[in-house]
Chains A and B, each alone.
Chain A
Amino acid sequence: ELKVEQNPLFLSMQEGKNYTIYCNYSTTSDRLYWYRQDPGKSLESLFVLLSNGAVKQEGRLMASLDTKARLSTLHITAAVHDLSATYFCAVGETSGSRLTFGEGTQLTVNP
């Protein structure tokens, strides 16, 4: 059974600082997704990582995938308040369309 673990689960950081959220998973996969969820809202797709070594960047967020280590990272550079949200990673199983989600990282960026 595929298990996905994120850490930290809660992250409070100051504006302007850098930090990394980690997503570990238990079985082989080459499909990993990052989503953002604002309070009371749905999930918004941020990044799709489909191969080992994939790196994607959008604004202050950068995501990477190491399939050998079964690890993805979401790096935040010079955080701003607007990045406050819950971030989920989701891992695709090797066959089929199912995704298994991590518990989410609740990020709060303080002025």
Chain B
Amino acid sequence: ETGVTQTPRHLVMGMTNKKSLKCEQHLGHNAMYWYKQSAKKPLELMFVYSLEERVENNSVPSRFSPECPNSSHLFLHLHTLQPEDSALYLCASSQVSTGYEQYFGPGTRLTVT
């Protein structure tokens, strides 16, 4: 595997379900990010982990819970979501010391029914 991978690529879940999104980066980076992309809206930064510490949480509802067990892996735990949470969830990674260029994964298309 190369670059940034995300699983699953598609997810349909009910409002009472609990699921997790997984992201893995194979680039040796030390920062990872979760973004939400909804139709007709700019990318919204949700969480930032730098050197495995959460450094940013942009007023994201508590039904989204991130976890970064090491610099290569990032999870987004989901529970009791709402239909408006349906979106493309993108993971990205960057190297803090070299210009912060972010490399994106393919995304998880989430539908909440």
B90 contacts A43, C-beta separation under 8 Å:
yes
**Interface residue B25 (Cβ < 8 Å from any Cβ of A):** no
Q: Among A48, A101, A104, which residue has its beta carbon within 8 angstroms of that of B99?
A: A48
- Interface check B102, CB cutoff 8 A: yes
Is the pair A99, B102 in contact by a Cβ cutoff of 8 Å? yes
Specify which chain A residues have a CB less than 8 angstroms from the CB of B53 in the assembled complex: none
Q: Is the CB of A97 within 8 A of B31?
A: yes
**Residues of B93-113 whose CB lies within 8 A of A:** 94, 96, 99-107
Where chain A touches its partner, the secondary structure class is strand
Interface centre among B31, B94, B96, B102 (most CB of A within 10 A): B102
Q: Are the CB atoms of B42 and A42 closer together than 8 Å?
A: no
List residues 21-72 of chain B with CB under 8 A from any CB of chain A: 31, 33, 41-43, 45, 48, 50, 55-56
Residues of B within 8 A of A15 (CB): none
Known pairs A41-B107, A97-B50. 9 more at Cβ < 8 A? A42-B105, A43-B92, A45-B102, A45-B104, A88-B43, A92-B100, A97-B55, A97-B94, A101-B43
Closest 10 CB pairs of A and B: A101-B43, A43-B104, A42-B104, A97-B100, A42-B106, A103-B42, A97-B31, A48-B101, A101-B42, A42-B107
Write the residues of chain A forming the contact surface with B, with a CB cutoff of 8 angstroms: 31, 33, 35, 41-45, 48, 50, 88, 90, 92, 96-104
